[in-house]
Structure 1
Amino acid sequence: MKTPIRQPFSHTDIVFLSHILKISKSSLYLNSIVLDVNQKKQFQKYRRLFTKSYPIDYIIGKIELSGLTFNLNKNVLIPRPETEILIKYISDNAEYTDLLLDVGTGSGLIGITLSNKFYQVILADISQKALNIAKKNILENKIKNILTTRSNLLQSNSLQKTILNKVNWTLVANLPYIPSREIKYAKKYNVFYEPSLALYSGKDGLDCFRELINQIKVYKNKPKQCFFELDPRNIHQAKQIIETIGYNCKIIKDENDFDRFLIGEIIE
Structure 2
Amino acid sequence: MEFLIVTGMSGAGKSGAANVLEDMGYYCVDNMPPALIVRFSEVCMQSGGKINKVAIVVDSRGGDLFSGLFESLEKLKQNNNNYRILFLDCDDDVLITRYKETRRKHPLCESGASSIEQAIHLERELLQPAKMKASYVIDTTLLTAAQLRDKIYDIFEYGVNTRLLINCMSFGFKYGLPSEADLVFDVRCLPNPFYIEELKQQTGKDKPVEDYVLEFEQSRTLLAKLNDLLEYLIPLYVEEGKSQLMIAIGCTGGKHRSVVFTEKIGSFLSDKGYRVVKNHRDILKVKR
* Higher RCO structure, 1 or 2 (CA under 8 Å, sep 6+): 2
TM-score relative to the length of structure 2: 0.27
Q: Which has the larger radius of gyration?
A: 2
Structure with greater helix percent = 2
* Structure 1 length-normalised TM: 0.28
